[in-house]
Chains A and B, each alone.
Chain A
Amino acid sequence: MTAHPATNTAQPIVRIDGLTYRYPGAAMPSLRSIDLEIGPGLTLVIGGSGGGKSTLLRLLDGLVPQFHGGRISGSATVAGLDPLRTPIPRLAQRVGLVFQDVETQSVYGSVEREVAFGLENAAVTRTEMHDRVDEALAGLSIEHLRGRRLSTLSGGERQRVQLAAVLAMRPELVALDEPTSQLDPEGAEAVLAACRGIVRAGRAMVIAEHRLESLLPAADRLLLVEEGRVDATAPAAARGVTAAGRRHSAVRDGLAWETSGLAAGPAGSEVLASVSLAGGAGEVVALIGPNGSGKTTLLRTLAGLIPPLSGTVRRPAGRTAYLPQNPGALLHLPTVRAEVELTLRRAGATESPELMLGTFGLVGLANRYPRDLSSGERQRAALAATLAGSPALVLLDEPTRGMDAAARSSLAAAVRSLTERGSAVVVATHDTELAAELADRTIALRDGRAVEVEPERGATDAGDAAPAAEGTR
């Protein structure tokens, strides 16, 4: 734990007493009689998906209960105000919240205007607005992004702009709800480094995150949120699920899929220049590479969704399963079980839906409306719906995005069982841990070509063999 120049050591910034909250129409409360205090410094909120982390963060600036409705009892004080009753615009001047969805939370199109949005709502004078925007951009060292349009920025840059927008309000508390779940490792590290900088400068911060490694050394306290209950815990307890160990299995008989001299790209542009790869049944191939290197293009070409510009693609006989980058979007049936059954029916498979539901830990959620689930639960439901029916070829595009450790391990287990039954798996991922855990071979894509790399050497997205240095970047 690091010491901080505390602004006011006596009074905690957040104090919650016996608070219970239930979303409208929910069977169970999301927060059960929680008591906690948050002081200055960095507070990490951890816990499984759907356990109540997001609800707790939204309580801090009054979105729960004022925006979402529902039933609440108990009391809370945040930065001296009552979040249950104080109008949200007033709370917004003391508490800033950065959300998980990078693109959807932007209001304007340009960086400057976006950072100034909160100030406009607070009716700050124009000269002071300009000063505060300058201050916020400088505080995060992103002045070079000033004149840019948001759509041209990377995910990491956009989240830092959102962080600057919050800082411009000069809040007492900055809260972030899984800010890096949609980002690649580079962007995630940039955002987390910025957060550490903010904490070092003396501001109180609460982050709900799964990527804990770089934050743990700087954290002052840890809150574990499970099933609506909160426990303050020591950082040591956060060393959670260990890697299950690398699989070693020989490639089984026969090639399952193959590309030869493949050139492909969206809308006629050539993202892949000439890629010749092959994979066998029961083999897991990991694709790594920076954003835009063609991982998604290769997967979509293998799936048959886009035609190759030149070269050939050969697929195995049988069903191909494809998990896209935002899998929750495709769910619409009334229950999780119904989604799994739909895929099984279409594939003409005889296996029971309980198999997939069990693999992904969805047995308890099988009768719930999938769009009501938390983001991690929804991800697992989409995985179950997509991978059902013993597909011959499984294509996964960033499957662990936003997943907690429990979900990651159930995915790894599912992939293992699929390969044991003979499926060939290709997974495009930034998650080097997952690649290390699952992959038989690792392919790096760069400049439209594919190069096989050694996974043991901890190959990063940059493609060089040196392992990442310890400590902060």
Chain B
Amino acid sequence: MNLVPRAPIAPRAWLVWSLAAVTVGLSTDNPVYRGLVALVALNVLLTWLRPGRRLRPLALMLLVAAGTAALVNVFASHTGADLLARLPGDWPLVGGPLTLESVAFGGTVGLGLVAALLAVAPLSLVLEPYDVVDAMPRPLERTGIAVATSLNLVSGFGRTFTAVRDAQRMRGWRPRGLRSWNEVLVPVLLTAIEDSVVLAEAMEARGFGAGRRTSYASRRWSRWDLVVVASAVTAAASFIALRLAGVPVDWYPYPTLFLPPINPVLVLACLALSLPGLARPARGG
């Protein structure tokens, strides 16, 4: 029997996978598991990335988020046995000793953010905006369509902005202070509003209304979708179950630094999350 996917993974399956990965990444304070989740999510992302999508904005966001979290922890928490530096105690908030332990814990917090962000990245970098429609549960389907079509419009705003800015520049506009930006932002806003009215009109002309709807896309899950969902749920359940059973899942490097406890079962649970990243349909995806 062939388990390799022949079609893209269903949006709802992606949703389940992302939730499971975020649960695992955030429910434990252990940097080893968080790091594994981050690496697993990165590999899954690289396997399924839509052609033409760039990773640099995501990488930048990760760097900023993780760096900020780590720095905040280093400068705000002053506990720990290994002293690195000492700021004058009377400085508000940041005054006091800066310790290796707070660096370590700050790193763990940052790593958690990275893992969580990478876990939800496929929802915007792999799925199309309109897949949001398929991911929604049935009662929210209309909301999903509204969101998807708005996303379609939003992607055009960047182009409108540059076009208007260039055109006004040629008419003699210069950015001189905040109020001068009105000349660019107001036309862009007006264009955006008009575009959304045009879209609403078009949707209405095609019968989009309050009545009953059916769906063109089949919502049944393929075998591979089931495998992905099952492994993701198992991974998250393992973490929760082991925690309840008293197995050390967290890591607090206070008062002094020591290596985090690593349970092989949980390592393999993290690896179970990497199943979507193993294979991709050869045809188009």
Contacts and interface: CB of A to CB of B under 8 A. Distances in A.
B212 A123 contact: yes
Nearest to B208: A121
Nearest to B283: A147
A394 to B, nearest CB: 11
A215 interface: no
B218 interface: yes
B201 A67 contact: yes
A125 B214 contact: yes
Interface in B122-169: 128-130, 145, 148-149, 152-153, 156, 160, 163-164, 166-169
Interface string B176-192: 00000001001110110
B172 to A, nearest CB: 3
B209 A121 contact: yes
A330 B187 contact: yes
A112 interface: yes
Contacts, number: 151
Contacts of A327: 167
B213 A120 contact: yes
Nearest to A133: B216
B205 A88 contact: yes
B170 interface: yes
Given A99-B198, A329-B187, A322 B167 contact: yes
B204 A88 contact: yes
A126 B217 CA distance: 8
Given A63-B201, A104-B199, A329-B164, A126 B207 contact: no
B195 to A, nearest CB: 5
Q: Which 9 A-B pairs have the closest CB atoms?
A: A346-B172, A92-B207, A121-B207, A105-B202, A116-B216, A322-B170, A89-B207, A118-B206, A332-B187
B202 A343 contact: no
A325 B191 CA distance: 14
Contacts of B172: 319, 343, 346-347
Interface in B204-247: 204-209, 211-218
A326 interface: yes
Contacts of A305: 166, 169-170
Nearest to B284: A147
A300 B166 contact: yes
Contact of B216 (A113, A320, A321, A322): A113
A112 B202 CA distance: 17
A342 B167 CA distance: 13
Interface residues of B, number: 49
Contacts of B284: 147
Nearest to B205: A97
A24 interface: no
A165 interface: yes
Interface in A71-108: 87-89, 92-93, 96-97, 99, 101, 103-108
B186 A105 contact: no
Interface string A121-138: 111111001100100000
Given A106-B152, A326-B163, A329-B187, A343 B204 contact: no
Contact of B173 (A97, A331, A346): A346
Nearest to B182: A332
B203 interface: yes
Given A330-B167, A386-B171, A107 B201 contact: no
Interface of B: 128-130, 145, 148-149, 152-153, 156, 160, 163-164, 166-173, 183, 186-188, 190-191, 194-195, 198-209, 211-218, 284
Nearest to B217: A113
Contacts of B186: 332
Contacts of A23: none
A105 B198 contact: yes
A123 B207 CA distance: 10
A123 B163 CA distance: 40
Given A104-B153, A326-B160, A343-B171, 15 more contacts: A88-B204, A99-B198, A104-B156, A107-B208, A109-B130, A113-B130, A119-B216, A120-B213, A120-B216, A149-B128, A169-B207, A322-B170, A329-B160, A329-B167, A330-B163
Contacts of B216: 112-113, 116, 119-120, 126, 129-130, 133
Q: Which of B171, B215, B217, B284 has the most CB of A within 10 A?
A: B171
A149 B284 CA distance: 11
A165 B187 CA distance: 32
A169 B190 CA distance: 33
Contacts of A330: 163-164, 167-168, 171, 187
Nearest to A305: B166
A117 B156 CA distance: 21
27 contacts: A67-B201, A89-B211, A99-B205, A104-B153, A104-B198, A107-B130, A107-B152, A107-B203, A109-B128, A109-B129, A112-B216, A113-B130, A113-B216, A116-B216, A119-B216, A120-B216, A125-B214, A126-B214, A126-B218, A129-B214, A149-B128, A169-B207, A327-B167, A329-B163, A329-B164, A346-B171, A386-B167
A277 B278 CA distance: 54
A61 interface: yes
A423 B45 CA distance: 54
Interface in A294-335: 300, 303, 305, 319-327, 329-332
A371 interface: yes
A329 B191 contact: yes
B165 to A, nearest CB: 9
A107 B170 contact: no
Given A105-B198, A329-B187, A92 B171 contact: no
A385 interface: yes
B170 A121 contact: no
